A and B are shown apart, each in its own frame.
Chain A
Amino acid sequence: MRESPLDIVDQEYRAGFTTDVEADTLPPGLDEGVVRYISEKKREPRWMVDWRLAAYRIWRGMAQPDWAHVHFPPIDFEAISYYSAPKSLQDGPKSLDEVDPELLRTYEKLGIPLHEQGALAGVAKAGNVAVDAVFDSVSIATTFKDKLKEAGVIFCPISEAVQEHPDLVQKYLGSVVPQRDNFYAALNCAVFSDGSFVYVPKGVRCPMELSTYFRINERNTGQFERTLIVADAGAYVSYLEGCTAPMRDENQLHAAVVELVALDDAEIKYSTVQNWYPGDQDGKGGIYNFVTKRGACLGRASKISWTQVETGSAITWKYPSVVLRGAGSVGEFYSVAMTNNRQQADTGTKMVHLGPDTRSTIISKGISAGRSQNSYRGLVRTSPAARGARNYTRCDSLLLGDTCGAHTFPYIENKSPSATVEHEATTSKVSDDQLFLCQQRGIDPEKAISMIVNGFCKDVFRELPMEFAVEAGKLLEVSLEGAVG
């Protein structure tokens, strides 16, 4: 009989190829000059430069956070290049026809549709998703701009928004994640190069899913993108984010900031399928994914929902959060985090209840395999003004094998006498009996494990848009391979 049901051949990381384009890459190192250089490249107005420089000075005085349950050698921030752009994009392509075909092929290989016509397989069909593709430090293409414009929706690279919609950017940039929020956020404020900007005007339901696809290509570069999404009163938008990187032996830093703002009755649904290169079996290489994501439910009855499927990265440090300020506002966090081999994940959420009758739901599913460490870290806080606030948290861990770790660090801080907070956590494994039942019904162990893990994640997958859910299931299957039973 088979020794271990799970010891099957590793499948290669599918997005691990590199693209051979000539790049304009800044030498490693960070000082005010670099910050000014990035800003000049983007032809930014004065206020933007000043904002970046202020962030840079704050960052200089900060220390890297040490509280997460992850271990890695200190990062040399002087060894990273803070700006890299394909040469062909120096002046910004005016249309898709001007984009280097090598770049287009990259996205085609990844299954990301940049041509508006012709449905491609992959993350989504081209017909119903608008895509902003970010390659290293710049946005290379944004699709369906015109169609969105008709609906009044602004969807463009944030560098373009700084030029075209300075009032909106100035009003909301840093309003949710301020410059001094944390070490990596401060760094991002100083050096962010591109990312997406979305504004959905009053009462508009965005006619299609919006999506940004992030790709790190160049060696020794960091990616510091910045996303800002504002849903005005009564607006609705669903936003998807995907990420990949080539396989490289050295670690690469990804320190993004995402800010969401929902005004009265607005709703933002933000979904991530994170598949950064996780490093090899021995933990060599891979992305350090140190990301700050936060939404502010400013308006009454507004809603922000985060759904994440995290299968990649060598280290994940990420807590998509919601500040519930508006009365009756709703925050949600649905997460699947899968770690294998030497991956480390410390991820979770913060739900900060400030307004009355605010509600939040947290569903976290952690799957650990190999020699990985997987932690949920969460904070549920209610202020005295959050009368009648409610939170429900469910936090489940699944362990595959006895060399991995699964951890739960939930903080509950309650100052509202009429709040109700519930936290439940369980830990389980795929039992021999479950495996045997499946095998007795003719299902091979690999398929059985993947079915059971998918079942474990079901509560989260059903929150994902259809195309993404399918992709997430497949990704999980790939990540599971080689997991020792």
Chain B
Amino acid sequence: MSLLQVDDLHAGVDGQAILKGLTLRMDAGEVHALMGPNGSGKSTLANVLAGRPGYEVTSGRLSFKGRPLDQEAPEVRAQAGLFMAFQYPVEIPGVSNMEFLKAAQDSHRKANGLGPESPVAFMQRVRTLTEGLALNPEFLKRGVNEGFSGGEKKRNEILQMLLLEPTLAVLDETDSGLDIDAMQTVASGVNRFRSANNGVLLITHYQRLLNHVVPDFVHVLADGRIVESGGKELAHALEERGYAWLTA
């Protein structure tokens, strides 16, 4: 059974078709990179997978660990192990990051029939993760993403991924807007995360991140469809030649 199976997916926003027959299959233990020019539908795929309201699947099939996704509420998908790192994480003033992380983890545990983790154990785990991502522990007390720099917001996404231990992590342009140090921190977080039991879908515009997180497969998305798939060398070819030769 595949971790993720997408068959001939047509989807869009506000009646505008964006994905036009996308097919993709991922197994546990794999890292896939999804690349493509702006507007090709990369973020749409991430949002459709996560079940963002407003994104509509018009045809095709979508299954996660063998179960169809299209009718599931976003929180149910999340609890089942589907994680999305946001391109633009939103701020939630007044709700502390710690409180938010705890609520998120509790919900995942509850869905798996577990009670909340002891606060002390939880705190220790979160602190260890924060240090690993070079985040100031103070930031746990601040409101979710409130006043965070771009880099802090992205590292916060990775922190949540590491904490919630999903089976599929979809990283939507997590590398955009990061300086080289932040990029390396994020990359090492992803490398720490990847294992034989989970999968990572890296959505990116640039090849840069793939120097640090080496993918097993690279796909090129253009006009709502995967037009080319290959190994990591495909990313290098894209870096040298751009996207135009693929879509021409």
Determine whether the beta carbon of B75 is less than 8 Å from that of A443.
yes
What is the distance, in angstroms, from B69's C-beta to the closest C-beta of chain A?
A: 11
Determine whether the beta carbon of B75 is less than 8 Å from that of A434.
no
Mask of A427-466 contacts with B, CB within 8 angstroms, 1/0: 0000111101111111111010001101111110000000
What is the distance, in angstroms, from B135's C-beta to the closest C-beta of chain A?
A: 17
B73 within 8 A of A: yes
With A432-B53, A436-B53 given, is the CB distance from A442 to B90 under 8 Å?
A: no
A1 within 8 A of B: yes
B125 within 8 A of A: no
Determine whether the beta carbon of B74 is less than 8 Å from that of A440.
yes
A174-B86 Cα distance, complex, nearest whole Å: 59
Closest to B85 in A: A440
Determine whether the beta carbon of A451 is less than 8 Å from that of B99.
yes
A2 within 8 A of B: yes
**Of A2, A432, A437, which one neighbours B73 at CB under 8 angstroms?**
A2
Q: Is the interface of B mostly helix, strand, loop or mixed?
A: mixed
A residues adjacent to B (C-beta < 8 A)? 1-2, 431-434, 436-445, 447, 451-452, 454-459
Mask of B141-157 contacts with A, CB within 8 angstroms, 1/0: 00110000000000000
Q: Inside 8 A of B75's CB, which chain A residues have their CB? A: 438-445
What is the distance, in angstroms, from B172's C-beta to the closest C-beta of chain A?
A: 11
A407-B34 Cα distance, complex, nearest whole Å: 48
A381-B93 Cα distance, complex, nearest whole Å: 31
Q: Inside 8 A of A443's CB, which chain B residues have their CB? A: 75, 103-104, 107
Q: Most B CB atoms within 10 A — which of A442, A443, A447, A457? A: A442
Determine whether the beta carbon of B143 is less than 8 Å from that of A455.
yes
A420-B191 Cα distance, complex, nearest whole Å: 54
What is the distance, in angstroms, from B129's C-beta to the closest C-beta of chain A?
A: 15
Q: Inside 8 A of B237's CB, which chain A residues have their CB? A: none
Closest to A447 in B: B103
Closest to B146 in A: A455
Closest to B54 in A: A432
Determine whether the beta carbon of B104 is less than 8 Å from that of A442.
yes
What is the distance, in angstroms, from A464's C-beta to the closest C-beta of chain B?
A: 15
B92 within 8 A of A: yes
B185 within 8 A of A: no
Closest to B82 in A: A440
Q: Inside 8 A of B53's CB, which chain A residues have their CB? A: 1, 432, 436
What is the distance, in angstroms, from A163's C-beta to the closest C-beta of chain B?
A: 48
What is the distance, in angstroms, from A152's C-beta to the closest C-beta of chain B?
A: 41
B177 within 8 A of A: no
Determine whether the beta carbon of A456 is less than 8 Å from that of B103.
no
Determine whether the beta carbon of A455 is less than 8 Å from that of B93.
yes
**Of B52, B91, B107, which one neighbours A444 at CB under 8 angstroms?**
B107
Determine whether the beta carbon of A1 is less than 8 Å from that of B71.
yes
A2-B72 Cα distance, complex, nearest whole Å: 9
What is the distance, in angstroms, from A310's C-beta to the closest C-beta of chain B?
A: 19
What is the distance, in angstroms, from A2's C-beta to the closest C-beta of chain B?
A: 6
With A439-B78, A440-B74, A441-B164 given, is the CB distance from A434 to B90 under 8 Å?
A: yes
Determine whether the beta carbon of B92 is less than 8 Å from that of A452.
yes
B139 within 8 A of A: no
B95 within 8 A of A: yes
Q: Inside 8 A of A458's CB, which chain B residues have their CB? A: 94
A408-B103 Cα distance, complex, nearest whole Å: 33
Determine whether the beta carbon of A436 is less than 8 Å from that of B74.
yes
Q: Which residues of B39-96 are within 8 A (CB) of A? A: 50-54, 71, 73-75, 77-79, 83-84, 86, 89-96
Determine whether the beta carbon of B90 is less than 8 Å from that of A1.
no
With A436-B52, A441-B164 given, is the CB distance from A451 to B100 under 8 Å?
A: yes
Closest to A436 in B: B52
Q: 14 A-B pairs, CB-CB below 8 angstroms?
A: A2-B73, A434-B90, A436-B74, A437-B92, A438-B92, A438-B103, A439-B78, A441-B103, A441-B104, A441-B107, A442-B104, A443-B103, A454-B95, A455-B99
Determine whether the beta carbon of A457 is less than 8 Å from that of B73.
no
**Of A2, A442, A447, A456, which one neighbours B111 at CB under 8 angstroms?**
A442
Q: Inside 8 A of B83's CB, which chain A residues have their CB? A: 440
A457-B75 Cα distance, complex, nearest whole Å: 25
Q: Inside 8 A of A447's CB, which chain B residues have their CB? A: 103, 107
Determine whether the beta carbon of B103 is less than 8 Å from that of A457.
no
Determine whether the beta carbon of A442 is less than 8 Å from that of B79.
yes
Determine whether the beta carbon of B93 is less than 8 Å from that of A440.
no
